[in-house]
Amino acid sequence: MPTITAEELEMNLTQFTGTEEYARMRYPWANLLLTDGAKYLCENAKSFWLLDLIASYQPKQLRGCEFQHWVVKAENNAAVVTCDDGDNHILVEQHIGYTDFPLREIHLYVQPTEYPERGLVVMLTSEY
């Protein structure tokens, strides 16, 4: 797959407003269901590490949380990833010492679902 620029990635992400099919990422402690946009982001930004990070906080820190707002802010090959409850109450903050994440900032929503199976849906804000 050819590499796209950060500008192309940002422009392409704005086109996702829903999902036709969920991609599944299963962890022993979390079942993540990715919308089309979230999957596109991870594939094109090579950021499946972000899903690992989100999943890693589910069993303890975020267990039972009904809504999660995740933000990645990247600059100078480092990043800060935060999760809040949607009302700006920070639940998680993690510093990433090195990343080649191409975007300066991205916001994702995560919330539980029972359909199409029990899990946590990871979506772009435009897909909410």
pLDDT in tens, 18-33: 999 999 999 999 999 9
Q: Where are the alpha helices (DSSP H) in the chain?
A: 6-13, 36-44, 48-56
- Domain locations along the chain: 32-127
32-127 adopts what CATH topology? Nuclear Transport Factor 2; Chain: A, (3.10.450)
Tally: H helices and E strands in the chain: 3, 7
Burial class (CB in 10 A: 0-12, 13-18, 19+), 54: buried
pTM, full prediction = 0.94
Per-residue pLDDT tens over the stretch 78-120: 999 999 999 999 999 999 999 999 999 999 999 999 887 889 9
Q: Three-state SS for 56?
A: helix
Binning pLDDT at 50, 70 and 90, where does residue 124 land? very high
Q: Which two tokens stand for residue 95?
A: 């510093």
pLDDT the model gives residue 64: 84
- The pLDDT assigned to 1 comes to 47
CB 61 within 8 A of CB 53: no
DSSP states of 71-125: EEEEETTEEEEEEE-SSS-EEEEEEES------SEEEEEEEEE-SSSSEEEEEEG
